[in-house]
Amino acid sequence: MKIAMIGLGYIGLPTAVMFAKNGQEVIGFDTNKDVIASLQSGRIHIEEPGLQEAFEDVLGNGLLRPVSQLEPAGTFIIAVPTPHTEDHSCDTRYIRQAVQDVIPLLEIGNTIILESTVAPKTTTGVIQPMLEEAGFTVGVDVYLVHCPERVLPGKIMMELVHNNRIIGGVTPECTIAGAVVYQTFVQGEMLLTDASTAELSKLMENTFRDTNIALANELVKLSDELGIRALDVIEMANKHPRVNIHTPGPGVGGHCLAVDSHFITTSVLEKNFTDPNGKKDQQ
Is 151:51 a contact under the CB 8 Å cutoff? Answer: no
| Residues facing residue 23 across a β-bridge | none
Please give the positions annotated as active site: 202, 256
Residue environment code for 17-55, b if the CB has 16+ CB neighbours within 10 A, otherwise e: bbbbbeebbbbbbbbeeebbeebeeeebebebeebeebb
Q: How many CB atoms lie within 10 A of CB 143?
A: 25
Q: What stretches of 60-189 adopt beta strand conformation (E)?
A: 64-67, 75-78, 111-114, 143-146, 165-169
Residue 136 gets which letter from DSSP? P
Closest CA to 77 of 9, 184, 4: 4
Closest CA to 82 of 270, 269, 262: 262
CA dist 55 and 152 (Å) reads: 19
